[in-house]
């Protein structure tokens, strides 16, 4: 519930306040990187005080993870269901290019010091942020293909299943920009589908 403060200003509470703080925190992180990601900077950008932040996120790491998690959840990647394994895979990588390229670039450049400081790898961060009730997207894409009879269903290595997104992420990290559509198609057509035994 929002309450009026003196002077007619709106006092934000609960979810509204938390959302405003995390939005401000993402802006600070994107602009200043991990070295500038301080309680003081976030509080100033959000128009609140440091004690308000400390009560919600007692550790600096807590605030950083909450910030990245909020941005990630606000930019969901749609998993297409086109009726074609190839089109689903290409469509998902295209959607990722629209929704995640900027985030992946930021994570690789702006918070390298964070990984160094706490000894967490990017893979461990991904596992921390991934919702526990959602299967990885390419698991879903393959399961649908098996249900349609488009693909046989023997067990596959998790490394093979996740290969398209792993290669996509590598391209983003190496180029620091969105991945060209030609490269997305090459990842699927020349590498992944042959590994799955699909022509």
Please report the DSSP string for 18-53 in residue order.
Answer: HHHHHHHHHHHHHHHTGGG--HHHHHHHHTS-HHHH
Residues 62 and 88 placed together within one structural domain of the fold: no
Whole-number CA gyration radius for the chain: 20
Q: Which of 14, 46, 71 is the last residue before a domain boundary?
A: 71
- For residue 3, the cross-strand partners are 11
Whether residue 53 contacts residue 43, with contact meaning beta carbons closer than 8 Å, is answered with yes
Q: Which of 71, 101, 131 is the last residue before a domain boundary?
A: 71
- Whole-angstrom Cα distance, residue 196 to residue 168? 18
Residues 116 and 156 placed together within one structural domain of the fold: yes
- Give residue-wise pLDDT tens across range 131-176: 666 788 999 999 999 999 999 887 789 999 999 999 998 888 888 7
Tell me what pLDDT residue 3 has: 35
Give the residue numbers spanning the domain of 41.
3-71
Residue positions counted in the chain: 199
- Whole-angstrom Cα distance, residue 40 to residue 53? 9
> What helix, strand, coil percent values describe the chain, rounded to 5?
70, 0, 30
- Give residue-wise pLDDT tens across range 20-34: 999 999 999 888 888
Q: How far apart are the first and last CA of the chain?
A: 57
Q: Residue 145: which CATH number?
A: 1.10.357
- The answer, yes or no, to whether residue 114 has pLDDT greater than 60, is yes
Instruction: Please name the residue that has the structure tokens 């297409």.
Output: 80
- Whole-angstrom Cα distance, residue 40 to residue 46? 10
Residues 164 and 115 placed together within one structural domain of the fold: yes
Q: Residue 48: which CATH number?
A: 1.10.10.60
- Whole-angstrom Cα distance, residue 17 to residue 94? 33
Tell me what pLDDT residue 108 has: 65
CA proximity to 161, closest of 185, 187, 195, 122: 195
Tell me what pLDDT residue 7 has: 37
Whether residue 95 contacts residue 78, with contact meaning beta carbons closer than 8 Å, is answered with yes
Residues 51 and 83 placed together within one structural domain of the fold: no
């Amino acid at each position: 519930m929002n309450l009026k403060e003196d002077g007619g200003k709106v006092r934000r509470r609960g979810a509204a306040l938390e959302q405003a703080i995390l939005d401000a925190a993402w802006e600070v992180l994107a602009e200043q990187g991990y070295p500038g990601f301080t309680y003081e900077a976030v509080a100033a950008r959000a128009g609140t005080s440091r004690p308000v932040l400390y009560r919600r996120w007692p550790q600096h790491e807590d605030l950083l993870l909450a910030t990245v998690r909020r941005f990630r959840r606000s930019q969901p990647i749609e998993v297409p269901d086109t009726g074609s394994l190839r089109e689903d895979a290409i469509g998902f990588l295209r959607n990722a290019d629209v929704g995640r390229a900027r985030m992946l670039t930021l994570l690789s450049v702006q918070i390298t010091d964070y990984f160094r400081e706490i000894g967490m790898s990017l893979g461990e961060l991904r596992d921390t942020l991934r919702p526990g009730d959602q299967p990885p997207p390419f698991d879903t894409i393959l399961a649908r293909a098996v249900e349609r009879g488009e693909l046989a269903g023997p067990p596959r290595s998790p490394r093979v299943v996740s290969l398209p997104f792993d290669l996509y992420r590598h391209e983003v990290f190496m180029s620091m920009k969105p991945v060209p559509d030609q490269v997305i198609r090459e990842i699927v057509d020349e590498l992944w589908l042959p590994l799955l035994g699909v022509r």
